Structures are given as structure tokens and as C-alpha cells.
């Protein structure tokens, strides 16, 4: 934090963030905002534009929150990478009355807006605080599963990487649903429409002038491009763009695409929701935690939520859209009587719709903490502190890459491997990552009480192929880190070193964590375990849709923010048409 305040540009940004937050929350008037923003270094034109937007939004939202209506056309639960897209587009592109319910608080805080502080969100008030049950395959460790509890959801607390996914992901989703709208060719058109890509031009694959600023790292730490050279030295080709033709084939190495602009995080609400908040037809309520859906037969009529200790019931004239994430979305469904009949009966909940797939098929990318080297001369982390990555196959016979290690510009260790290897502060890491896991877990209820946390069996590393793939990933990361291209940055390898296979497997089980990419618990498809169809409507239930990472049949190859935005875009297209 002190390092950040030594930078005048970041300090100015912090002041403007605080002023803008006060303006949007109605705590600062337009005139005082203009005076203070200009004094902080903003140009008068920019300050006037911010003041107008913020004043209009603050007045509208304060009025709307104080005058909650008994009915809205649409209720969107969650303001993350799916929900912000759906709510913002519905409000801006129609006259529909939209209510957005966010359980967390404001995103206009330093830990969200300053890219370098993103790890401080983990286990803070902006994190739901989920953990998986202890698993034998990870040496009885309970892996933490952070999820954003804040405006913007995961896009406000994650590492800001824009990773589209592999061509195979979307073609598989299209096959699973029988809906060509999920195919790579169709999804690529959405990506091109919404992106404002700042890197090497690629008109066939990248968009320019869209709402979402996406950029390569600016002034990256020198170890990031060095790792790309090191990857090339072991046969992994280097690409100019993480999301171009690299992700249509066997993979490769590249600097990450990031959602950072002018030194500030760009979460998804900043490009979809904020402008819409000036409109009278949308209401964003923070601190609003949904308890259950209100059912009339097999139709959703509305929902109940708690805010400031008061229980509210609100009706939905057209539809409720759940965008609460892959843990809370199935939890809300089950509390409402939608799910596996035996599971609901166990908690005394009457079954309204028999959908045995609710909560099943849980997937998350596994991230190993990690392969660590001590610097010859320590360098400070830059941007998100994770700037270089590669996608590659653990087995040449696979149809696409199943590994995504990330270089992390600080020592990255688990609660077991950290004390075991005692990595000093001046270290950097390559974290082996598995992005096509075969292990499948489950989310269940711990109680019929809505305030109780869901139970998560992550099932991490329970499939032997996942262990095999990650052992290959560790081997590959060690080969890259110890290559000639990295010698300038290496004093010594700290961990794991050249361990025998049995010891390396034990290291893997002690080092395994996740990418925080929980997904797939309400999958779309046509089989008996599908929860939604290709149009994201919950099967057998009227007036209910899901638009978050829970609908993925298989988790996307890479960080999940960008594909979740695609899910939100498709949901908005479906509802608006």
C-alpha cells in the first residue's frame, strides 16, 4: 500500500475513486465533486462528465431504493460477470423494470480498484468465504473457494485476466445443448462485438471499439516476456495474443489479456451497469441476500430477500434470472424446492421441480502452489502480478490444451508447502494449472436455513488422470523455470526440486489449490442431469433462468470471467428478442 501511495498517478486515482463513490452514493453534491475532482488533477471536461453521470445515478438510485416496488418485470440476482451484463442491457435496451439484488457492498474501494491489491479481497468482507470439505486426495486439506460478495462479483476480486476459452469449449457446449448459438463461430462474433482490444490487431478474431477495454500488460515485469522465451525453448510456441489463433489449436505461450485501464481495474459493472443506473427503470440494491424463490406451482412468481434485517418479498412479472454463482445459485434453487428430491427431503423441503443435476457436476480449475525460484535480484510485481501464461497439452493425444500454468511474480505456496520450503520474499513462481479437470464434485445444502452456508465436495484430484496431468505440468514448469532463458532471474530453485515420483505426488496433493473458477453446478444440456436448456431457462420451471458460470457443462479452458460475460450476453439477447 505504501508503494502505491509513492506513485502520484495512483494516489490521484485513489482520490478520484473515493470522490466518485461518494457522488454515486449521494454523499457528495455535484458542485463539491467538481471542485475536489479538479483539485485532485482531473480535467474540467472529464470531471463534469463524471459529475453528471454520478449525480443522475445517485439521485435515481437513492429514490428507487427508498421506494421499492412490489413488482418488477425482471429480478436479477447478483451483479457479477453474468448479472451485470443481463441487468445493464435489459435496462438500457428496453423499458422493462429491472431490480438487481447484490448481497455484497460497493465496489468503489481501493482493494477492488487498485490492481495490485486484488489478493487482499480474499477472505475479506468482499468474499463469501466458502471452503470445500476436507478431501483425502488433497491430503485432507479444506481448499478455500473465494467468490466475490461485492458489486461486480468475481470481476471485482479476481486477477483481471480476460481469457476467452478454447474453440473446443464452445463447440462442445453447442453439441451438448443442440443450440448452434453456443458454437465458437457464433460466440466469436459476440466477443468481437463487445471488445475494445488494445493489442496486436487481428480483425478476424478481435474486436475494436466495443465496450470492454482489453489490453496486454503495460510495462510488464521483465520475467514475464522471459518466461515466453523459456517456454519456446522447450517447444511451446510464443504468440502475440493469448486470445487469438493460439486458442484455436494446440495452445502456446503469451502475455495475458488484462482488464486494467489507466492503472485501475475495470470490473464488468463499470462497462455494463453504471451508465444504466441513471435510468429510472433499474434499481440496484446492495446488501440484499436472497432467501428463496416464491413459487406458484411450477412457476416462479418472485422471491424473498433480507436487507438491513428486514425481509422483503418482491414479484417478478416476467422472469427471475439467477446470477449468484456456482455455489449460491444451486443453493437458492434447492431452498426453493428445485433439485434432487432425496436431497431436498433430507432437509424437509417440498420438491417443486425434480432436477437431480442441481448442485452436481461441480468443477474448478486446479492451481498448484507452486514451483518457486528465488530471484538473483528481486523485482517488484507489475500490473496484476500475473502477466505471463501458457496453454499446453499434458498428453499429445488430447484434442486441446488441458494445462494453463501462470507465472506469478511473488512466491506462491500453500499453507503446507510454504512452511515446508520456507520461500523467502524475493521469489517468483510458475503455478501449474489444470483447466480440463475430470474430477466432479457436488454442492449440497447444510440446512434449510437460508443463512447457512452450502456444503461443497470439491472432489479435487479424485480422478487419476488429473494427478497424471498435473505431475506433467509440474515437470514442464520446472523445465521452463530452470531453462537458460530464465537464468538471469534465478539464484536457486526453492521448490519443489527434483523429487522422486511418489514424493512429487505428495507435494502435489499438499500444494493443490484452485483458480477460484467454481462452475458447472447447473449445467445446460439435454440429458437427465441438465438444469437449463440452451436458452438458459430452468427445465420444468416457468419464469426462471440462470446466467452465470454454473450453466457451463464443462468449465472453459482458462479464466472464467470472459465466458461468463458471454453467458450474460446470450441471456440478454434471448430476453430482449
pLDDT at 44: 74
What is the pTM assigned to this prediction? 0.93
Do 186 and 180 form a contact (C-beta atoms < 8 A)?
yes
Chain segment 76-135, per-residue pLDDT in tens: 999 999 999 999 999 999 999 999 999 999 998 999 999 999 999 999 999 999 999 999
> Residue written as cell 441471456?
571
pLDDT at 183: 98
Chain segment 212-234, per-residue pLDDT in tens: 999 999 999 999 999 999 999 99
Say whether pLDDT at 50 is over 70.
no
Task: For residue 236, count other CB atoms closer than 10 A to its CB.
Answer: 22
Do 269 and 57 form a contact (C-beta atoms < 8 A)?
no
Report how far Cα 112 is from the mean position of its chain's Cα atoms.
13
Alpha-carbon gap, residue 400 to 238, rounded angstroms: 17
| Beta carbons within 8 Å of 49's beta carbon, 6+ residues apart | none
For residue 433, give the nearest of 512, 331, 330 by alpha carbon: 512
Long-range pairs of 40-48 with CB within 8 A, sequence gap ≥ 24: 40/12, 40/15, 40/16, 41/12, 41/16, 42/16
Q: Dig out the grid coordinates for 298 from the structure.
A: 411450477
Residue 312 catalytic? Answer: no
Say whether pLDDT at 308 is over 70.
yes
Say whether pLDDT at 62 is over 90.
no
Share of the chain above pLDDT 70, in %: 94
Range in 105-109, 207-211, 330-334 with the lowest mean pLDDT:
105-109
pLDDT at 4: 36
pLDDT at 392: 98
Do 559 and 163 form a contact (C-beta atoms < 8 A)?
yes
pLDDT at 6: 43
pLDDT at 53: 62
| Beta carbons within 8 Å of 311's beta carbon, 6+ residues apart | 291, 304, 305
Chain segment 428-450, per-residue pLDDT in tens: 999 999 999 999 999 999 999 99
Residue 550 DSSP one-character state: G
Sequence ranges of the domains in the chain? 1-66
Amino acid at each position: 500500500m505504501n508503494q502505491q501511495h509513492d506513485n502520484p498517478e495512483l494516489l490521484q486515482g485513489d482520490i478520484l475513486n473515493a470522490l466518485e463513490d461518494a457522488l454515486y452514493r449521494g454523499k457528495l453534491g455535484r458542485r463539491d465533486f467538481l471542485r475536489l475532482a479538479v483539485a485532485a488533477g482531473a480535467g474540467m471536461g472529464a470531471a463534469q462528465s463524471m459529475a453528471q453521470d454520478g449525480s443522475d445515478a445517485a439521485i435515481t438510485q437513492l429514490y428507487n431504493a427508498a421506494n421499492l416496488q412490489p413488482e418488477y418485470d425482471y429480478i436479477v440476482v447478483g451483479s457479477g460477470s453474468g448479472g451485470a451484463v443481463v441487468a445493464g442491457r435489459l435496462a438500457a435496451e428496453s423499458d422493462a423494470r429491472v431490480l438487481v439484488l447484490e448481497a455484497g457492498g460497493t465496489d468503489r474501494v481501493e482493494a477492488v480498484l487498485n490492481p495490485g491489491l486484488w489478493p487482499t479481497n480474499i477472505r475479506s468482507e468482499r468474499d463469501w468465504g466458502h471452503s470445500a470439505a476436507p478431501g483425502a486426495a488433497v491430503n485432507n486439506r479444506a481448499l478455500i473457494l473465494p467468490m466475490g460478495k461485492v458489486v461486480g462479483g468475481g470481476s471485482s476480486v479476481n486477477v483481471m485476466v480476460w481469457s476467452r476459452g478454447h474453440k473446443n469449449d464452445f463447440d462442445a457446449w453447442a453439441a451438448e445443448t443442440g443450440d448452434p448459438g453456443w458454437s465458437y463461430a457464433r460466440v466469436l462474433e459476440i466477443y468481437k462485438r463487445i471488445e475494445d482490444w488494445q493489442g496486436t490487431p487481428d480483425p478476424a478474431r478481435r474486436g475494436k471499439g466495443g465496450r470492454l477495454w482489453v489490453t496486454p500488460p503495460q510495462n510488464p515485469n521483465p520475467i514475464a516476456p522471459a518466461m515466453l522465451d523459456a517456454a519456446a525453448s522447450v517447444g511451446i510456441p510464443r504468440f502475440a495474443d493469448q486470445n487469438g489463433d493460439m486458442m484455436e489449436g494446440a495452445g502456446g505461450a503469451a502475455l495475458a489479456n488484462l482488464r486494467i485501464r489507466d492503472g485501475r481495474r475495470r470490473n464488468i459493472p463499470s462497462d455494463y451497469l453504471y451508465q444504466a443506473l441513471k435510468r429510472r427503470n433499474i434499481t440496484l440494491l446492495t446488501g440484499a441476500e436472497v432467501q428463496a424463490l416464491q413459487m406458484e406451482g411450477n412457476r416462479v412468481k418472485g422471491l424473498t430477500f433480507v436487507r438491513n434485517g428486514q425481509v422483503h418479498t418482491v414479484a417478478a412479472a416476467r422472469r427471475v434470472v439467477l446470477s449468484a454463482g456456482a455455489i449460491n445459485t444451486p443453493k437458492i434453487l434447492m431452498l426453493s424446492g428445485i433439485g434432487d428430491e432425496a436431497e431436498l427431503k433430507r432437509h424437509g423441503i417440498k420438491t417443486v421441480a425434480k432436477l437431480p443435476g442441481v448442485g452436481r457436476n461441480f468443477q474448478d480449475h486446479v492451481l498448484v502452489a507452486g514451483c518457486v525460484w528465488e530471484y538473483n535480484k528481486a523485482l517488484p510485481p507489475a500490473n496484476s502480478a500475473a502477466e505471463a501464461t501458457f496453454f499446453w497439452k499434458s498428453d499429445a493425444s488430447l484434442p486441446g490444451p488441458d494445462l494453463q500454468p501462470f507465472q506469478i511474480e511473488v512466491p506462491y505456496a500453500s499453507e503446507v508447502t510454504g512452511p515446508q520450503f520456507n520461500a523467502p520474499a524475493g521469489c517468483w513462481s510458475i503455478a501449474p494449472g489444470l483447466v480440463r479437470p475430470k474430477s466432479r464434485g457436488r454442492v449440497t445444502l447444510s440446512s434449510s436455513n437460508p443463512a447457512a452456508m452450502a456444503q461443497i465436495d470439491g472432489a479435487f484430484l479424485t480422478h487419476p488422470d488429473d494427478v497424471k496431468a498435473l505431475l506433467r505440468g509440474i515437470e514442464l514448469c520446472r523445465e521452463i523455470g530452470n531453462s537458460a532463458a530464465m537464468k538471469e532471474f534465478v539464484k536457486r530453485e526453492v521448490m519443489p526440486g527434483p523429487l522422486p515420483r511418489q514424493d512429487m505426488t505428495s507435494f502435489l496433493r499438499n500444494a493443490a489449490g484452485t483458480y477460484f473458477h467454481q462452475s458447472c453446478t447447473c449445467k445446460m444440456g439435454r440429458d437427465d442431469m441438465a438444469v437449463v436448456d440452451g436458452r438458459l431457462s430452468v427445465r420444468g420451471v416457468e419464469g426462471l433462468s440462470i446466467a452465470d458460470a454454473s450453466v457451463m457443462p464443462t468449465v472453459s479452458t482458462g479464466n472464467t470471467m470472459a465466458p461468463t460475460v458471454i453467458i450474460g450476453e446470450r441471456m440478454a439477447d434471448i430476453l430482449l428478442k
